[in-house]
Amino acid sequence: MDQGVFKQLDDSCFPPKRSPDAAATAPGTEPGAIGPDSAKMTSWDSYLAVATFLSSPEEFMGWFVGFVSLFSTNLLRPLRLALTSSNKNATKNSMLSVNGPKGTRREGKKFRQYAAALSTTIGPFAVGTVLAWTSPVLPMLQSENSRIPITADEGSWVGSLIAIGAIIGSIPAGKGADIFGRKPTIAALAVPFIISWAMIYFATSVWELYVARLIAGAVIGGVTATVPMYIGEIAESSIRGELGSYIQVKVTLGILYVYAIGPFVSYEGLAILCGIIPVIMFILVLLVAPETPTYLLRAGRRKEAEHSLVLLRGHEYDIAGELEELQQQLEEEQKRSSKFKDLISSRATVRASIAVMGLLSFLSFSGINVLIFYAESIFKSSSSSISPQVSSIIIGVLQVKFTFASALLVDKAGRRV
């Protein structure tokens, strides 16, 4: 959005400024879609299905999940600090402490930061398997030899119920990360993931599939709320954008994984191959990922915070300087109000929120979710010379390719570019 749009918004939503330095500035999920009504459709029916998807309440749920997840965690802590500061220097220092060490301080070693981030992004990989599962499975369930015969309407519910589950799971997971810690919360999310795949494996009715998909959706909301928080708190500013982008890279890899193996295994086999992913996630998070220094300091565990920084940055890194900055950040958080009513009364918060909601809306209304959920059914109805399975794999490869490219560019070219 350009500055003219924001200026019009400011003029219409807020009275004229009373003080020249009153305004602060601040920097600025895929579930939820309705699929085709039948596995056997004409091309025109495919277009109608996409049009229905774009205007459906369930697609709004997908957009809402992303927004709720954002506000249910500490992802907006830098924004809160900047917006509640009445002193420009204090704001600058707050943002510095959030964004990590800058200036002349020597940067730490990166290997352990990459390892910790990649271990937690197994969760987003598992999210991708949940999102793509319906693409190869619904044609199986709607076939004559299906173990669980379902109608087209029931198939749409199987696909879209994860949006409702995600809304349920995002807020408790964010709060749990503040109470119990980032690491144990992320590891614990593997358990309901495993339960949902076990229920899918043993399901004998569509209602069991409904419950399993609701549980999986709740875990998706939890992963969306906690993994970005974890990566933001362990990564140095020079690689934070890149590591954060790996979340979406892993989602697309999970989607490609299901597209690639789904057509060649049975219903039960796919459930097993998807169910082992959260098991790997649980083990790697416990073994590789340390707790974040920010959480440990907040919990009054300074010695453990020092140890965490040494693990993440190396012994030669100036951990005392970063710990001091984090401590100042926490003290400023305690002094300043960050209630929701205070946030929405700030021009900078409203502008940043509109930018975020605009991006989420653009993503949701692009139609990507319906393509992920029902790729094989859509391509089957198109009468293409390429098989639906191969077409789905091509879509998955393209998603991975361009998402990975953006991950490499985000810290070099900037977020807006």
Task: Report pLDDT digits (tens) over 184-230.
Answer: 999 999 999 999 999 999 999 999 999 999 999 999 999 999 999 99
Give the domain ranges of the chain.
Answer: 108-289+345-416, 292-336
Q: Are 83 and 348 in contact (CB under 8 A)?
A: yes
Across residues 166-185, what is the average pLDDT? Answer: 90
Distance from the Cα of residue 263 to its chain's centroid: 27
Cβ-count burial of 172 within 10 angstroms (0-12 exposed, 13-18 middle, 19+ buried)? middle
Contacts of the segment 340-346: beta carbons below 8 A, 24+ positions apart: 340/71, 342/83, 342/84, 343/76, 343/80, 343/83, 346/23, 346/24, 346/83
Task: Report pLDDT digits (tens) over 3-55.
Answer: 444 344 444 444 444 444 433 434 444 443 334 343 333 433 333 333 333 33
What pLDDT shows up at residue 307? 92
- Has this prediction a pTM greater than 0.85? no
Q: What pLDDT band is residue 340 in, cutting at 50, 70 and 90?
A: low
- Is residue 402 predicted with pLDDT exceeding 70? yes
- Is the four-CA dihedral 142, 159, 371, 37 of positive or negative sign? positive
Weakest mean pLDDT among 84-98, 169-183, 286-300: 84-98
Could you tell me which residue, 228 or 332, shows the higher pLDDT? Answer: 228
Across residues 90-94, what is the average pLDDT? Answer: 36
Tokens of 325: 């900055």
What pLDDT shows up at residue 379? 87
Distance from the Cα of residue 171 to its chain's centroid: 13
For the chain, the average pLDDT equals 76
Q: What is the 3-state secondary structure (H, E, C) of 367-409?
A: CHHHHHHCHHHHHHHCCCCCCHHHHHHHHHHHHHHHHHHHHHH
The fraction of the chain above a pLDDT of 90, given in percent, is 40
Residue range 108-289+345-416 forms a domain whose CATH class is mainly alpha
Give which of 213, 221, 200, 222 is closest to 161, Cα–Cα. 213
What pLDDT shows up at residue 269? 95
> What is the rounded distance in angstroms from the CA atom of residue 379 to the CA atom of residue 384?
7
Cα distances (angstroms) measured from residue 167 to each of 173, 188, 222, 357: 11, 18, 9, 16
What pLDDT shows up at residue 239? 87
- Is residue 178 predicted with pLDDT exceeding 50? yes
Q: What pLDDT band is residue 414 in, cutting at 50, 70 and 90?
A: low
Task: Report pLDDT digits (tens) over 307-327.
Answer: 999 999 988 888 888 888 888
The fraction of the chain above a pLDDT of 70, given in percent, is 69
Task: Report pLDDT digits (tens) over 133-147.
Answer: 999 999 999 888 888
Across residues 377-396, what is the average pLDDT? Answer: 87
